[in-house]
Every structure is written in C-alpha cells, then in structure tokens.
Amino acid sequence: MPSAQIRIANQLAEIRKVADLVDEFGQRHALPERVRHDMSIAVDEIISNIIHYSYRDAASHDIAVCLRLQAGELQAEIVADGAAFDPLEYKAPRPSGPVKQRALGGLGLHLVASLMDKVRYSRSGNKNHVTLVKKTAGSADT
Amino acid sequence: MEITETKSGAVTTVALKGRVDSATAGTLRERLSKLVESVPARLVIDFRDVAYISSAGFRTLLIIAKQSEDAKGGLALCGFSSEVRRLFEIAAFTELFLILPSREEAIAALGSMK
C-alpha cells in the first residue's frame, strides 16, 4: 500500500510542507487534481485548527501526517497531542448573510465536511487521530 | 503564492498565483488592505492561476470586502476555475462578491462605477 509520512512542528508556516507532500504523493500516483487539492485544503483546515486551539502551552509540538492510498481512497491521518477536539462534533450551520454580518466560525470544518467523503476521529492516550478520506475515482472532472 | 499588481486607469488588478491557504493568507491580507485603503480604491482580484483557496483565504477576502465597503470602494473577482467556483459555492461566498468571468469584464464593471 503506497504511503508517505511527514512530521511537522505546530507552526502555520509548516503546513506548506504537508500540502507539498499531498501534491507530490498525489501526482506520483496519478490522482486527479481535484482529489489532491481537496485533500490539501482539508489537511490545511485540520492542522490550522490544531495549531490554533489544541495547545495550552507555548512549547513546540509535533504533528504527524500519514498519507495512504488504499482501495480507491486517499487517506490522510493526522496525529497530534493536545486537548481533545472531535471535528465531527462541531456542526457548523451553512454560512449565510451579507458581508457585514457574515461570521466565519466553523467555515474550515464546513469545507472539510463538504470536500471529504469520510472523516474519522479517535483519541488514544493524549493524542487525537483525525483521518480524512477522499475517493480517488468517480468524482466529477476538474 | 505570487501576487502581481497592474493598473488600468483607476482600476488596480491583483493577480494571484498558487495556493491561497494558511501559509499565504496573511501576506495577501497585508497587500490587499493597503490597496483598499488608497482611495478611491477599485480593486480586481484575478484568480486565474489560483490552485485552491482554504478558509484562511476566505477569511482574508471577507476582511477585505468589509474594508472595501467601509471605504466605499469597488471590488470584483474574476478568473475562477471550476474548482475555485465550487469552493466559493461551498463557502457560500458567491453571494458576497461581484464575480466576472474575465479580467477585462471585471475591470470594465469597476471602471464604470460612479
């Protein structure tokens, strides 16, 4: 089963490395552009949330990402320590309203839910495991 | 992400190339904020070479839209690929902006503003 891993520090600037990995891994395995882009966005959203909300200290924390291609699915498993946060529990309402009243809370998780085919969450020990799943075939052409 | 500015009369076009995400949204916000603050501001943002946009990018666009409204400026977006349009629809952002297919049409739309 093809896979790739990366470990990054909890800095927003590090997310670029993960997006690059998703792109390279996706291209290497001839995945459609839409699949690569949607997964890059979802990974960006989850990791940004982790960086903004998970930690109670100013220390450096590792975030591990493992990509896998299995049975017609691209999977990204993101593992991080920190406060328990289940992205599935957060039900964001569909965004609406004019510019002045538009709130942005939850937009990232709304994107994740809309772009991914499955999202799984589990917690073991002090670590959150978020797995994002995108089918690699059958989505509309880009 | 690369950001390129060009002027056509009173309209400034900002062309973006690459990803608009957590890593790049901050820089984009700084550049666009400066442009919106220069009055009268008529700003076109060209998405032709944008790979994708995440919520950080949408957050920046919303901030810029609010600034532009406050400054009574004009703001138009153009050059959406089908992927970018789809993302805007999911985020329900298509209703917030003047969106034209091409840069020429966007510039014309703002150029004719009173």
**A41 C-beta neighbours (distance < 10 Å), count:** 29
Q: Which CATH class is domain B2-111?
A: alpha beta
Asked whether residue B3 carries a pLDDT value surpassing 50, the answer given is: yes
Closest partner CB to A95 (pick from B69, B81, B91): B91
How high is the pLDDT of residue A116? 97
3 state DSSP class of B97: coil
Domain ranges of chain A: 3-135
Asked whether residue B104 carries a pLDDT value surpassing 70, the answer given is: yes
Whether A101 has its CB under 8 Å from any CB of chain B: the answer is no
**B16 C-beta neighbours (distance < 10 Å), count:** 24
pLDDT digits (tens, 9 = 90+) for B49-67: 999 999 999 999 999 999 9
Whether B55 has its CB under 8 Å from any CB of chain A: the answer is yes
Asked whether residue B14 carries a pLDDT value surpassing 60, the answer given is: yes
How high is the pLDDT of residue A87? 82
**A97 C-beta neighbours (distance < 10 Å), count:** 11
How high is the pLDDT of residue A128? 94
Q: Splitting chain A (142 residues) into consecutive groups of 10 residues, what average pLDDT does each group show? A: 96 95 97 97 96 88 97 97 83 74 82 96 94 83 44
Q: Cis peptide leading into B40, omega within 30 of 0? A: yes
Asked whether residue B18 carries a pLDDT value surpassing 70, the answer given is: yes
Q: Would the CB atoms of B69 and A100 count as touching at under 8 Å?
A: yes
Domain ranges of chain B: 2-111
Return the residue matching tokens 């739309």: B109
**A34 C-beta neighbours (distance < 10 Å), count:** 19
Whether A56 has its CB under 8 Å from any CB of chain B: the answer is no
Q: Would the CB atoms of A45 and B55 count as touching at under 8 Å?
A: yes
3 state DSSP class of B91: coil
Pairing relationship of beta strands B74-78 and A3-9 according to DSSP bridges: unpaired
How high is the pLDDT of residue A142? 43
pLDDT digits (tens, 9 = 90+) for A113-127: 999 999 999 999 999
* Mutation site for B-interface testing, chosen from A38, A78, A107, A110 by largest number of B Cβ within 10 Å: A107
* Chain A residues near residue B74 by CB distance under 8 angstroms: none
How high is the pLDDT of residue A141? 46
pLDDT digits (tens, 9 = 90+) for B24-40: 999 999 999 999 988 66
This complex has an ipTM of: 0.93
Q: Would the CB atoms of B69 and A99 count as touching at under 8 Å?
A: yes
How high is the pLDDT of residue A93? 67
**B114 C-beta neighbours (distance < 10 Å), count:** 3
Q: Which CATH class is domain A3-135?
A: alpha beta
Please list the alpha-helical segments (H only) found in chain B.
25-37, 55-70, 82-90, 103-111
